[in-house]
Chains A and B, each alone.
Chain A
Amino acid sequence: MRTVFARMGRPLEMGLKTALAGVAEIAASVLVVVAFTTLVLLVAGAPPLDTFAVLVKGSLGSWSKLSHVIKVWIPLTLASCGLLFTFKAGLWNIGVEGQVMMGAVATTLAMRMGGPSPLAGMVTALALVAGMAGGALWALCAGFLKTKAGVHEIFAGLGLNFVSQGLVLWLIFGPWKQPGIASMSGTETFDERLWIPSIEALNLSPAALGMAVAAVIVTAYLLSSTRLGLYLRAVGGNEKAAVLFGLKPHAVMTAAMLCAGGLAGLAGAFQVSGVYHRLIPAISSGYGYLALLVVLLAYYNVWAAPVVAFFFACLNTGAIQLPMLLSLDSSLSGVIQGSMVIAALAVHSVSTRSRRSRG
C-alpha cells in the first residue's frame, strides 16, 4: 500500500508495473487482514459475515452515520498531521494521546473562564487557540525531557500521558465537578452558544471540517516546500551530520514537537467544543494512539493519511453497533486496524525484499 502512496508525489515515475505491484500489495494485505479477522471472530463464536455487514452498514449505511464518521475523522486527521512533523524529525511522539487530552483541558478551561458572554463566538475561537497552546505546551514538556534530560521520547510521552489522564480525572472529580455529585459522565455541559456551530440536520460542523482539510494542506506545504520540512528531514535522517550543516537538532525537534502538539491540541479542542460539549474522562477516545497507526499505514505520506484516517474512522464508527446488535465488544475495530498496519508493513517488506533479490 505504501508504495502506491509514496509514489503519488512523483506521478511521472509511476509506471504501470509499479502501480500493479502496489495494487497487488494492497490486495494481499487486505486478504491477510480479512482472513485473520475471520479467524478471530470464529474463535469468539461470532458470525463473520454478519459482523462485517454491521461494520459497513454502521459506518456508511446512512447520512447520519457518515456524519458520525466525519466527526471521528476530524480529530484523527488533525492528530495524524501533527505526527507527520515529529515522524519526519525521527521522533516517536507517543505523547500525542496526552497532547489531545491537554488540548481538551485547555479548551475547557478557556470556555469556563469565558462563560456564555455575548461574545460567545469569540470565546469559542479563543478556546480553540487555547487548546492548541495546551497541546503544544504538553508536547514541549516531552520535548524538553528528550533534549534536556535525555529521556527517550517514548517514555517521556507515556509518562505524560498517564499524568494527563490523572489530571483529567482529578478535574472532573475535583475542581470542575458537576453541581451536586461528581460522576464519570464528566463536567457540566457548556452553554449551547459556546458550541462550534454545526449543521442541524447532519449534526456536522463545517468549520471543524474546513479546519481539518486546511490542516492537511498546510502540513503538506510545510513539509514538502519549506525549509522547516527540509530541516525536519535532515535532523530525522542524521542528527550528527545536521549539526555540521549548521542546524540545531534540539531546536528543530522542539519545533516538530510544537507543531505536533498544536495540532493534537486542536483535535482535543474539537472533541470538547464540537462533539461532547464538556470534558469527559475518555475525552481523547484513544485518537492519539490511533493516529500513530494511521501515519504508519500511510507510510508517512501527507495525502495518504486522511484516506487512511477515513477508513479507520469508518471502522471505529461501525464497531459502535457491535455490542448492541451482536453482543460483541467494540474493540474489534482496534484488532482490524492493528492487523491492517502489520499486514501492510509485512507485505511491503516481503515484496521489496524479493524484488531486490531478483533485481
Chain B
Amino acid sequence: MMDGFDMLLVASAVIAGAAPLVMATLGETLTERAGVVNLSLDGTIVLSAMAAFVVASLSGSLLAGFAVSAAVGACVAALVALFSVRLGMSQVAVGFVLTLMTRDLAYFLGSQYARTEGPISGSAPVPVLSGMPVLGQVLFNHSVPVYLSMIMVAFAWWYLYRTSWGLRLRCVGENMEAAYARGIDPDLVRVVYTVAGGALVGLSGAAFSLCTKPGWGQPQGCEGSGWIALALVIFGAWHPVRAALGAYLFAFLQVMSIHFQSWFPDVPAQVFQVAPFPLMIFLLAVSTLVHSEEAKMLAERHPLLRILTRGLAQAPPLSLGKARSRD
C-alpha cells in the first residue's frame, strides 16, 4: 500500500511545488508589512500567469515571460495602491473587485492561447552541489525559478530586518503618523512596497504557467492559490520565513493528497483535491485561537504552554488596512 512513497521524492516535490506560492506569500508579506492588504492576489496570479505564458510562447523567451508577469503584477498592485493609499478607498473592496476582474481579463485575453504548446523552464541541477547525498536531490536539482524562490526567502528576511529600508518599511506598517513625524513619507513607502510586492506576486504567476503547472487553460490550475497565499501571510504572522514555511507546509499537504488518493482509492478524488484548503483554514483558526483569552489563561497555569503561545502569538502590523487621514 505504501509503495511509491519516497521521502526524498516528496521533499523535492514540496520544494518545487511550493516555489510560486513562496513568491506570492513573500510579496504579500512585504505589502502587508507596509500596512496595505492587496486582496487581489488570486486574480493577479492568474492574469500574470496568462501574460507570462503568452509572451513566452510568442517570443520564445522565458525571461521575457517572467519580466512581463512581474510588470503585470506590479500594475495591478499599483491600482490597489492608487485607489486605497492615494484615494483612501477600502482596501478590501478594491482588492476583491480587482481579483474578480483580473481573472476575467486573463480568461478573456488569453482564450486564443488556451491549450497551446508553450516553453517550460526545465530542470537545471546546480553543478557539484546536486551531487550531494540527500540535500543534492532535495534542494539543488530544480529549475531556476525554484532556486529563486529559496533565495528570496533569505533575502526578504535580510531586507526586512537588517537594512534601513526594511526598518522604514516596518515603521510605516506599525505607525504611519510616527513615521511621518520622523521624516518618512508613509504614502510613498506604502505605494512602493505595494507595487514591489505585486511584482513578486506576478512572478509567482509566471512560476506557475512556465514551471510548476505549465501551460494555460480555463480553468487555470493556479486558481485559488492567491487566497492561500493571503491566508499564509496571516498564518506566518507577517514574518517572511514563517510565511514561507507555511507555503512549504501547504505544498506538502498537496503532495500528500495525491499520495492519499492512491492509498485510498475508495474515497472520491474531489475530497482530496479540496482537502488542503479547509485544512489551511483550520490551521488559521488554531493560530488565532492561540491569541484568545482562554489560551492565555491556560498558559498561565502551564509554563510549557506559555513558551509555545509566546512563539506563536504575533499581532498584525498596527496600521494594516488603515488609510491615513489628512487635513
| A334 CB, nearest partner CB in chain B, Å | 3
Nearest residue in A to B279 (C-beta to C-beta)? Answer: A159
Contacts A155-B230, A170-B271 given; does A329 touch B100 at CB 8 Å: no
Beta-carbon contacts under 8 Å, A305-336 to B: 328-329, 331-335
Contacts A92-B92, A296-B93, A338-B97 given; does A332 touch B108 at CB 8 Å: yes
Q: Does A165 contact B (CB under 8 A)?
A: yes
For B96, give its contact among A165, A292, A346 (CB under 8 Å): A292
Interface mask (A143-175 → B, CB under 8 Å = 1, otherwise 0):
001000111101110111011011101100110
For B281, give its contact among A92, A145, A167, A353 (CB under 8 Å): A145
Q: Does A293 contact B (CB under 8 A)?
A: yes
| B28 CB, nearest partner CB in chain A, Å | 13
For B277, give its contact among A40, A159, A332, A342 (CB under 8 Å): A159
B96, B98, B218, B281 interface centre (most CB from chain A within 10 Å): B281
Contact status B97-A342, CB under 8 Å: yes
Contact status B278-A159, CB under 8 Å: yes
For the complex, would chain B's binding face be called helix, strand, loop or mixed by DSSP majority?
helix
For B105, give its contact among A160, A335, A345 (CB under 8 Å): A335
Contact status B89-A346, CB under 8 Å: yes
Beta-carbon contacts under 8 Å, A257-296 to B: 289, 292-293, 296
Contacts A296-B93, A338-B101 given; does A150 touch B289 at CB 8 Å: yes
Nearest residue in A to B37 (C-beta to C-beta)? Answer: A154
Nearest residue in A to B79 (C-beta to C-beta)? Answer: A342
Q: Does A350 contact B (CB under 8 A)?
A: yes
- Chain B residues near A158 (CB-CB < 8 A): 227, 277, 281
- Chain A residues near B292 (CB-CB < 8 A): 150
Bound together, the chains give a CA A165 to CA B224 distance in angstroms of 12
Nearest residue in B to A162 (C-beta to C-beta)? Answer: B277
Beta-carbon contacts under 8 Å, A57-110 to B: 92, 94
| A324 CB, nearest partner CB in chain B, Å | 13
Contact status A293-B100, CB under 8 Å: yes
Beta-carbon contacts under 8 Å, B253-299 to A: 268, 270-271, 273-274, 277-278, 280-281, 284-285, 288-289, 291-292
For B107, give its contact among A40, A150, A160, A329 (CB under 8 Å): A329
Interface mask (B72-113 → A, CB under 8 Å = 1, otherwise 0):
000000010001000111001110111011111101110110
Bound together, the chains give a CA A152 to CA B87 distance in angstroms of 25
Q: Does A178 contact B (CB under 8 A)?
A: no
Bound together, the chains give a CA A145 to CA B278 distance in angstroms of 12
- Chain B residues near A152 (CB-CB < 8 A): 234
For B108, give its contact among A145, A155, A335, A345 (CB under 8 Å): A335
Contact status A328-B111, CB under 8 Å: yes
Bound together, the chains give a CA A169 to CA B109 distance in angstroms of 28
Q: Does B56 contact A (CB under 8 A)?
A: no
Contacts A151-B281, A332-B108 given; does A338 touch B100 at CB 8 Å: yes
Bound together, the chains give a CA A220 to CA B164 distance in angstroms of 53
Q: Does B231 contact A (CB under 8 A)?
A: yes
Beta-carbon contacts under 8 Å, B44-96 to A: 79, 83, 87-89, 92-94, 96
Q: Does A199 contact B (CB under 8 A)?
A: no
Contacts A40-B105, A150-B291, A173-B268 given; does A293 touch B278 at CB 8 Å: no
Interface mask (B214-231 → A, CB under 8 Å = 1, otherwise 0):
000010000010010011
Contact status A149-B83, CB under 8 Å: no
Interface mask (A21-65 → B, CB under 8 Å = 1, otherwise 0):
000000000000000000010011000000000000000000000
Contact status B284-A151, CB under 8 Å: yes
For B97, give its contact among A167, A331, A341 (CB under 8 Å): A341
Q: Does A3 contact B (CB under 8 A)?
A: no
| B216 CB, nearest partner CB in chain A, Å | 13
Contact status A149-B285, CB under 8 Å: yes
Nearest residue in A to B93 (C-beta to C-beta)? Answer: A296
- Chain B residues near A342 (CB-CB < 8 A): 79, 83, 94, 97-98, 101
Contact status A331-B104, CB under 8 Å: yes
A43, A328, A346 interface centre (most CB from chain B within 10 Å): A346
Given A145-B285, A162-B224, A346-B87, 4 more contacts at CB 8 Å?
A: A44-B108, A293-B100, A328-B108, A342-B98
Pick the 4 closest A-B CB pairs, nearest first. A338-B101, A334-B104, A166-B274, A159-B281
- What would be 6 A-B contacts, judged by CB atoms less than 8 Å apart? A40-B105, A40-B109, A151-B281, A174-B268, A296-B97, A335-B105
